[in-house]
Structure 1
Amino acid sequence: MYYVIILVLLFLAELFYFRIADKCNIIDKPNERSSHTRIRIIFYFGALAYFLTNHWEYPWFILALTLITFISFVDDIRSISQSLRLMLHFTAMVLMFYQWGLFTLPWWWIIVALIVCTGIINAYNFMDGINGITGGYSLVILGALAYINTEITQFVEPALIYTVLCSVLVFCFFNFRKKAKCFAGDVGSVSIAFILLFLIGRLIIKTEDFSWIILLSVYGVDSVLTIVHRLMLHENIGLPHRKHMYQLMANELKIPHVAVSLVYMLTQALVILGYFCFVGYGYWYLLGIIVLLSSIYVLFMRKYFHFYVQQGKK
């Protein structure tokens, strides 16, 4: 009953936010990656609802999430300096590391974690560009985390996962459709990435097994190889673009957004199911999946990237 109430309250909060956002003109400024305008912060509200109803659990994480959500929200509606944005992102990550208990480890763990976490947050943000992909992909990961937390090893309070799941379901109701009523924006994609990072980080620390990064393998391979591809094309990787595999599928091949999002969801779900079957060979399985997904990416680009080039896009 608790989660039904949370789901209803988050749904009503979303409808209320629609009215406030439209009245106050709270919109994103579209770039070359997206034509969306209406942004949502429902993921933060989900985590906050957990915090307020579960004895103020994980206070440093919530503080970090509040900080990174705020700066991303401001960045969505008005441009801020890259240096300020990075500084606040790093501050938020340091707070999250403190919640993890990472400062009891050797100092170089902090450096590695900072690099990895920055890369994951940016990758998750870059992958947000079509209807349903952020919400749907997050549903798959949260579902897997809920199963791991219940059946394999408990690494976090279950209510946190389920409450965030409720927020993602509400978001998908408005976004996972042919004509989306809202989209995540930087604030949404960054905040859900931060939440997933916190959960996966706790799982890795609890099990001392880094191969759980397999939970982000589809996004990871697409993001890393797209960066490599753009470097090969001598492009500035800091500028917006439409060269991700999912973008070519949606824009050049004209595959419906929802169908593309389902492909990414299903692929990641199958990868995770395979991992559960070969959990004793985690690192070998992770390596095999990276090779397989990378091969699919390269073959896809070799076959279809010329459509992008023919249209004279950059």
Structure 2
Amino acid sequence: MLYIILFPLFFGAMLLYFRIADHYNIIDHPNERSSHSIITIRGGGIIFLIAALVLMGWHFNEFYIPMLGTLVIGVISFLDDMHTLSSRIRIIIQLIAVSLMFWYLNLYHLNPVAVIAAYIIVIGIINAYNFMDGINGITGLYSLVVLSGLQYINIRAVHFIDADMIWLPIIACLVFLFFNFRKRAKCFAGDVGSVTIAFWITLLLFKIMLFTGNWTYILFLSIYGVDTVLTIIYRLILKQNIFKAHRLHLYQLLANECKLPHLLVSTVYAFVQLIVILIVIQNSTYSSILLSLLIILPLILIYIITRLGLTKGNI
């Protein structure tokens, strides 16, 4: 019953935000990295901050530490949406938020080298997720698929966390998609959306991996991972500055160069990730290395063939 109440609450919050964003000119102007050409409200992903606040109030004793981290990283991302902040400030806040995540996950008893590696991995995932947020529908739909896969496991296989911790971001995704999964989106997620949901999903993935000891669940982010890593390698081959804005991700080439509809590209990415998730769920007892290779290698091959096809075989 409470979940039903959250839908109109979240819808109302989004509509209120649109009025605030319009008044304070919180809008997204197309630039050299953009895959759109129309001025659109930025920061619609604030709905994930609202979901975090609701969850913190609902389960304060259990989740106040991770949700505090979610709010910390989300608020700084929202400020970055309004006024571009220095990379130093952003990384410091990200480190603080991830530290709260690790505190909740009780990671600090591990070998210091492992903890440092975990910081690098988590911050890398969060920023990669942010870079993949470039066309209508992709962040919301992809996140919905990943969260649904985690909730299926949580309910039907291994109960690793309170279900509300996953239901709330799922509801937030559905509400956000109502306004974003359109040919002409009402709003974009902004950094506040992509970074916040990336933090939340990474938290859940680390939770289930630590709980089960099964690291193949990281494959729930394999599509984003392959596109991000191989695009970085491609840009290094071209001797480009990998920290500079670009439109060379495979999804960007499909949307911008091939002129495929944004919603089609977003749906394909989410659908392929769904297939991977189903394979992982059905074969969770297999060797982690073997299962990872059986999934990652075909994805790499698909990426390379598609990119070569789009560039007519030229690097």
Output the TM-score relative to the length of structure 1.
0.95
Whole-Å separation in 2 of the counterparts to 1:171 and 1:25: 20
Q: CA deviation at 1:203?
A: 0.5
Whether the aligned pair in 2 keeps the contact of 1:29 and 1:76 (CA below 8 Å) is no
Structure 2 residue ranges without an equivalent (≥5): none
Corresponding residue of 1:262: 267
Structure 1 residue ranges without an equivalent (≥5): 310-314
Q: Give the secondary-structure state (helix, strand or coil) at the position aligned to 1:102.
A: coil
Corresponding residue of 1:17: 17
Q: CA deviation at 1:152?
A: 1.6
Q: CA deviation at 1:183?
A: 0.8
Equivalent AA in structure 2 for residue 122 of structure 1: N
Whether the aligned pair in 2 keeps the contact of 1:252 and 1:308 (CA below 8 Å) is no
Aligned with 2:304 (options 295, 298, 303)? 298
Equivalent AA in structure 1 for residue 278 of structure 2: L
Corresponding residue of 2:164: 159
Corresponding residue of 2:282: 277
Aligned with 1:74 (options 73, 79, 85)? 79
Q: Deviations over 1:118-161 (max 9, x none)?
A: 11011100100000000000010010010011112111110110
1:289 and 2:295 matched: yes
Corresponding residue of 1:312: none
Corresponding residue of 1:148: 153
Whole-Å separation in 1 of the counterparts to 2:210 and 2:31: 37
1:95 and 2:100 matched: yes
Whole-Å separation in 2 of the counterparts to 1:171 and 1:58: 23
Change (3 A) 1:308 1:160: farther
Q: CA deviation at 1:305?
A: 2.2
Equivalent AA in structure 1 for residue 94 of structure 2: H
Corresponding residue of 1:84: 89
Q: CA deviation at 1:210?
A: 1.3
Whether the aligned pair in 1 keeps the contact of 2:136 and 2:263 (CA below 8 Å) is yes
Whole-Å separation in 1 of the counterparts to 2:102 and 2:208: 13
Corresponding residue of 1:50: 55
Q: CA deviation at 1:30?
A: 4.1
Q: Give the secondary-structure state (helix, strand or coil) at the position aligned to 2:108.
A: helix
Q: CA deviation at 1:57?
A: 2.7
Whether the aligned pair in 2 keeps the contact of 1:64 and 1:92 (CA below 8 Å) is yes
Corresponding residue of 1:125: 130
Q: Give the secondary-structure state (helix, strand or coil) at the position aligned to 1:58.
A: helix
Equivalent AA in structure 1 for residue 280 of structure 2: Y
Whether the aligned pair in 1 keeps the contact of 2:308 and 2:314 (CA below 8 Å) is no
Change (3 A) 1:241 1:308: farther
Q: Deviations over 1:100-126 (max 9, x none)?
A: 110122212210110100110111001
Q: Determine what percentage of the aligned residue pairs are the same residue.
A: 46
Higher mean alpha-carbon deviation, 274-283 vs 222-231, is at 274-283
Equivalent AA in structure 2 for residue 262 of structure 1: T
Q: Deviations over 1:70-117 (max 9, x none)?
A: 111111111211111111111111111001110122212210110100
Corresponding residue of 1:26: 26
Whether the aligned pair in 1 keeps the contact of 2:69 and 2:97 (CA below 8 Å) is yes
Whole-Å separation in 1 of the counterparts to 2:59 and 2:30: 37
Q: CA deviation at 1:280?
A: 1.4
Higher mean alpha-carbon deviation, 281-290 vs 21-30, is at 21-30
Equivalent AA in structure 2 for residue 286 of structure 1: S
Corresponding residue of 2:250: 245
Q: CA deviation at 1:172?
A: 0.3
Whether the aligned pair in 2 keeps the contact of 1:29 and 1:77 (CA below 8 Å) is no
Equivalent AA in structure 1 for residue 26 of structure 2: I
Whole-Å separation in 2 of the counterparts to 1:32 and 1:307: 24
Equivalent AA in structure 1 for residue 223 of structure 2: V
Q: CA deviation at 1:56?
A: 4.1
Q: CA RMSD in A?
A: 1.5
Q: CA deviation at 1:306?
A: 4.7
Corresponding residue of 2:234: 229
Q: CA deviation at 1:7?
A: 1.3
